Amino acid sequence: MKRFLTATVGLLAASAVPAVAADLPVKAPPMMAAPPPFSWTGCYIGGNVGGKWGQSTDTVTVAPAGAGAGGTIAFAQDRSSSLIAGGQLGCNYQTGPWVFGLEGDVDWQRLRFSRTIGATTIFPFVGGDRFDARSDWQASIRGRLGYAWDRWLLYVTGGAAFTSVTVGANFIATTSGGFNFPATVASDSKTLTGWTLGGGMEYAVTNNWIVGVEGRYSNYGTQTYNAGLLATIAAGALAAPTFTFASATQSMKLETFEVMGRLSYKF
């Protein structure tokens, strides 16, 4: 009987242990801290590559001189396209969803424009006279205003644009009034300042690497270039070949549009 009572008490005690253990509080596993939201604040440097399209209008004027009254010839709009590649450097500051920035860029390009006169009766131009222009680089400094959704940024941008344009004039040799007039070749270069406006979208792939796409329109206005001096016959000197010179100018308006892919490293 004693052994039976001892065994019964032991079984009751053993069955009570799991119940007591189940009632004990269990320590919860530590919670992982949420990663901080991405911030666009900081400076960056990067590169870009894309396409550029330019259009220009051109007017060439020869001033009156000697026996000639001078003349003006206007060309239809000409277009050119080019690969564009370069780099950008800038800084952003984010407050709430708004991102304010300042950026500068410099890019290589190869825009070429060329116009050749066909048959014409506009004095003193003759068929074969050729006028061209080229631009090999562009740069800008711009403000940026963007709206961010975590790692996405949609922005507008605008500011000052700069480019270098070199124009050339080639008046071919001709004969008039029994006199031979030599060819005239001239070249003139200017660095132009205009304005640019556009927008784009960027995505932060990591906390440092940012990819994006941007499009911009730029307008450099109308500039006048030296197109050389043309020999003309002095007034009243048809019997004696006395010559003077008439100045020629070339006025060109330039507009461009570009789309580029961008890759930047944020510090």
Sequence-separated (6 or more) residues with CB below 8 Å from residue 36: none
Q: What is the pLDDT of residues 83-102, one digit of tens each?
A: 999 999 999 999 999 999 99
Pairing of strands 130-149, 184-204: unpaired
pLDDT of residue 1: 46
pLDDT band at 5 (very low <50, low <70, confident <90, very high): very low
Buried b (16+ CB within 10 A) or exposed e, 77-91: ebebbbebebebebe
Average pLDDT over residues 181-196: 94
The CATH code of the domain at 37-266 is 2.40.160.20
Q: Is the per-residue pLDDT at 121 higher than 90?
A: no
Percentage of the residues of the chain whose pLDDT score is greater than 90: 67
Asked if 42 contacts 91 with a C-beta cutoff of 8 angstroms, the reply is yes
pTM: 0.82
More confident residue, 7 or 217: 217
- Looking only at Cα atoms, what is the longest distance across the chain? 159
Question: Which stretch of 10-19, 124-133, 161-170 has the lowest confidence by average pLDDT?
Answer: 10-19
More confident residue, 207 or 243: 207
pLDDT of residue 69: 66
pLDDT of residue 239: 54
Q: What is the pLDDT of residues 155-182, one digit of tens each?
A: 999 999 999 999 999 999 887 766 777 8
The residues spanned by each domain of the chain are 37-266
